[in-house]
A = this chain, B = another copy of it.
Amino acid sequence: MADRAGQVAVIFVSQRNGVDAAGYAEAAAAMEARAAAQPGYRGIDSARGPDEFGITVSWWADEAAALAWRADAEHAAIREAGRACWYDQYEVAVAEVVRNYEWVRP
């Protein structure tokens, strides 16, 4: 397991509206791939239920890496598309990891 102490978690909580499912899925996959290529990227976890409520956590080495990803031009363009088309509401929280632990079935 990655020791995430000191990493920055960007917690994205969103309500999709169901509009343009194909375009959304394509953009989401492209953004995951683009995030993974950024300096300081430390992983991404994402889940969305049948009610279209979803949570994505991206993990970054530090605050500078998280801010650089926020400023990325393609990411900014996709955010605009998200507000124009795909989301009814979202919340972003940026948080510094204090500790983490993992359990895996033996």
Q: Is A13 an interface residue (CB 8 A)?
A: yes
Distance of A30 from chain B, by nearest CB (Å) = 19
Contact A13 B101 (CB under 8 A): no
Query: A23–B23 Cα gap in the complex (Å)?
Result: 36
Q: Which residues of chain A (20-58) have a CB below 8 Å from chain B? A: 45-50, 53-57
Contact A94 B97 (CB under 8 A): yes
Contact A97 B105 (CB under 8 A): no
Given contacts A11-B57, A47-B47, A47-B48, contact A100 B96 (CB under 8 A): no
Q: Looking at chain A's contact residues, is the secondary structure mostly helix, strand, loop, or mixed? A: strand
Among A13, A56, A92, the one with the most B-chain Cβ atoms within 10 Å of its Cβ is A13
Contact of A47 among B1, B55, B90 (CB under 8 A): B55
Query: A30–B38 Cα gap in the complex (Å)?
Result: 40
The 7 closest A-B pairs by CB, nearest first: A95-B95, A93-B100, A55-B55, A47-B47, A91-B102, A95-B97, A47-B55
